[in-house]
Amino acid sequence: ATPMSVAVATGVGAQRGVLVKQGETLERLSSVNHFVFDKTGTLTTGQLNVHMVEPCAELTESELLQLAASVEQNSEHTIATAICETAASSALKLLPITKFTTIPGRGVTAYIDDKLILVGTRQWLNSQDIHFPEHLTEKMSQYEKQGISCVSVAVDGSIKGIIGLTDSLRPDALSTIQLLQSMGTKVTVLSGDRLEVVNAVTQSFSDIQRFAEVLPQDKSAVVKSMQAQGDIVAMVGDGVNDAPALIQADVGIALASGTDVSVESADVVLSHQELIKVAEAKLLASTTLRIIR
C-alpha cells in the first residue's frame, strides 16, 4: 500500500465522519469478511423506553418503579437511565440506598433500609434462589417475543414484579446490514439480551447469525472463536461492555456517541450517529486497497 493513497483515503474518510486512527487499519478493514454488531446502542438507538411496570405482589406500580429507580440511580446502564427518567416524570422520590453493586450483564443490587433489592435478569435472580411463578415466566416470554426486554425486581429473596423496556432499530440498521452482505461479508449480532428479544428486534434481517445472553466478559471470546475459524472480524459497538471485544477484533469500530472507553479501544470511530458509515468505511477501504494493488 502506498502511504500516499492511504493518507488520501484517511482524509476522505475523516471528511465523511469515518475517523481511522492508523493507516494499517484501512488495509485490515479491506480484508474483513465478518462484521459483528452489538445490539443495544449500536443496531438500536440505545434510548430505551419503559413499556410497562407490572407488580406481581403487594406493591403498586409506583412503588415497584420507585424501588427499581432508587437502586438504578447509581447505574449508568441505558436500562437505568430509562427507569430513572420514568420515575422522575411520575414525580417519584428516590429512596436512599446503601451498598450499591453492579454485576455486569446481570443487574444491580442495593439495600433500602435493611431490605436487599435486586434488579436484573431472571437468570441472575434464579441463581440467587429467587423463585419465579410459572405464570410470570410465561408472561415474560410473551413480552420478549414482542421485542420487549424484561428486568425483574426482587426484595429480600422474593420476586416483586417486572419492568419491560423497548428500544428501536436505528433507521439505517437494515440498509447497513444489507450493504455489508452485498459486499460478501458475514454479519452477526452479539447481545447480552435474551434470544427472543434479539430475534424480534432483528427480524427484518436475513442470513445473519445471532448470539444472545453473552456476558460482557465473554463477548471477546466469541470474537476470538470466529478468528480461530479463519475469519477476519470487525466488531461494531458502543458501550463500556464492548471494549474487550473491540480490542480483540481485527478492526474495532465505535460509534462516537459511545462511552470514552469504547472510543479509546476502537481503530475506527464514526463521528455521526449513522450506522451506514460502517458500510461506507468498508467500501472506502476496499476501494483504496484495490487502487493501490
Task: Kindly tell me which residue out of 73, 75, 202, 262 binds ligand ADP, with binding defined by CB under 6 A.
Answer: 75
Return the residue nearest Mg ion (CB atom): 239
Task: Work out whether 79 is an interface residue with ligand ADP (CB under 6 A).
Answer: yes
Residues 222-261 that bind Mg ion (CB under 5 A): 239
Report, in Å, the least distance between residue 7 CB and ligand ADP: 36
Residue 77 binds which entry of ligand ADP, Mg ion, none, CB below 5-8 Å type-dependent: ligand ADP
Task: Work out whether 38 is an interface residue with Mg ion (CB under 5 A).
Answer: yes
User: What's the distance, CA 213 to chain centroid?
Assistant: 11
Task: Kindly tell me which residue out of 28, 30, 34, 41 binds Mg ion, with binding defined by CB under 5 A.
Answer: 41
Radius of gyration of the chain (CA): 21
Bridge partner list, 31: none
163: alpha, beta or left? (left if phi > 0; alpha if psi -120 to 50): beta
What does DSSP assign to residue 14? Answer: H
Asked if 233 and 226 count as a contact pair (C-beta separation under 8 A), the reply is yes
Task: Work out whether 170 is an interface residue with ligand ADP (CB under 6 A).
Answer: no
Task: Kindly tell me which residue out of 108, 117, 279, 285 binds ligand ADP, with binding defined by CB under 6 A.
Answer: 108
Task: Work out whether 245 is an interface residue with ligand ADP (CB under 6 A).
Answer: no
Asked if 198 and 189 count as a contact pair (C-beta separation under 8 A), the reply is yes
Which residue is catalytic, options 38, 231, 238, 242? 38
Burial of 79 (0-12, 13-18, 19+ CB in 10 A): buried
**Dist CA 107 CA 282 (whole Å):** 35
- The interface mask with ligand ADP, positions 213-242, x = CB under 6 A, is ---x----------------------x-x-
Catalytic residues: 38
